Structure 1
Amino acid sequence: MPKSRIRKKADYTPPPTRQATAIKLTSSAWVAPVMLAMFLVGLAWIVVFYVTDGDLPVDAFGNWNIVVGFGFIAAGFGVSTRWK
């Protein structure tokens, strides 16, 4: 019986090591103040609406002033997603 060919495998060479890259965890300086300002404006809008029995901040909006106040608060939460 003929002998099969012997295949020589190349010697194992490990892959080159990768350098660890640093991840920047910096936050923009404007994010936290804008987020807090939006929260406070929204809260103040709703409080002023209730305290003045619907006459302020915008009389023409009527009960939609509550939606505007919550809109500011929601925008504050939207800005908070940029905070790291």
Structure 2
Amino acid sequence: MPKSRIRKKDDYTPQSAKQQTTAIKLNSGRSWIAPLMLAMFLIGLAWIVLFYVTSGDMPIASIDNWNIVVGFGFIAAGFVVSTQWK
């Protein structure tokens, strides 16, 4: 059976230094996202901890166990905000 030809790849030649230096813009203008995300996480955590420490009297006594849902809502909002972080 005949043997197939071996193709030789071109040797690697690096690009010139002029083409390699490109300006990368790191500042996206969204510097408010990380602090907001962390604030939402901390507010949600503090809400739930406060509810348990005060035996349901605080933060809002009239909504009873829905305080846990409110706390997790803040945490979920923090995750939603985190999707915009670059």
TM-score higher than 0.5: yes
Gaps of 5+ in 1: 1-21
CA distance in 1, matches of 2:69, 2:34: 23
1:23-80 superposed Cα distances (whole Å, 9 cap, x missing partner):
8552501000000000000000000000000000000110000000000000000000
Please report the RMSD computed on the Cα atoms of aligned residues, expressed in angstroms: 1.8
The residue that corresponds to 2:61 in the other structure is: 59
The residue that corresponds to 2:77 in the other structure is: 75
CA distance in 2, matches of 1:75, 1:69: 10
TM-score, normalising length: structure 1 = 0.70
* Amino acid in the other structure paired with 2:55: D
The residue that corresponds to 1:48 in the other structure is: 50
- 1:49 touches 1:56 (CA, 8 Å); kept in 2? yes
CA distance in 2, matches of 1:68, 1:74: 10
Larger Rg computed on CA atoms: 1
Report how many aligned residue pairs link the two structures.
Answer: 64
The residue that corresponds to 1:34 in the other structure is: 36
TM-score, normalising length: structure 2 = 0.68
SS in structure 1 of the partner of residue 45 of structure 2: helix
Gaps of 5+ in 2: 1-22
The residue that corresponds to 1:5 in the other structure is: none
Percentage identity across aligned positions? 73
Distance change in 2, residues 1:73/1:43 (3 Å): same
